[in-house]
Amino acid sequence: MDVKKAREYLNVTQHELAESCGVTLRTIQNWESGKPIPKNKVKLLQTLIESNNKQPMNVYMPSIVDQEKENLYNTLKTQQELAAKMIDELSQFRQMIQKKDEHIEKLLAIITNKENKA
């Protein structure tokens, strides 16, 4: 649960939320910074949110969703970089083959000229 998002949704201060949950201000600050929240306190926060009578909100795991989005973006970026590198390497390989073909043609021309002179 994203405690900060829940607190902002409830429109209360950290101190007010601490009093409502029966914990210290520091505990709320710790939860907002990502420290684990005991299950009984999660249920209490759920009850506070539900009793607020506002539109429902998603305060669960937004950081995980955000992390997954970032991971997906990074994966796509990496794949694009790899694809660009492969295209560049294939282009270089093609140029190398063309040069070798040119050398082979020159050698064949030399061999043909020698055989015709003999």
What residue ranges do the domains of the chain occupy? 3-60
Q: Find the angle CA(10)-CA(15)-CA(21) to the nearest 5 degrees.
A: 70
Give CATH for domain 3-60. Answer: 1.10.260
pLDDT of residue 65: 60
In a 3-state reduction of DSSP, which class is residue 57?
Answer: coil
pLDDT tens-digit readout, 45-70? 888 888 776 555 454 445 556 677 77
* Residue-level pLDDT, tens digit, the chain, 118 residues: 888 988 888 889 999 999 888 999 999 999 999 899 988 888 888 888 887 765 554 544 455 566 777 778 889 999 999 999 999 999 999 999 999 999 999 999 988 888 887 6
- Specify burial of residue 92 (Cβ count, 10 A radius: 0-12, 13-18, 19+): exposed
Lookup: tokens for 49: 């949110």
Q: Find the angle CA(25)-CA(29)-CA(31) to the nearest 5 degrees.
A: 115
Sign, CA dihedral 72-74-78-83, equals positive
pLDDT of residue 53: 64
Lookup: tokens for 90: 């294939």
pLDDT of residue 61: 47
| Distance of alpha carbon 71 from alpha carbon 79, whole angstroms | 12
pLDDT of residue 100: 95
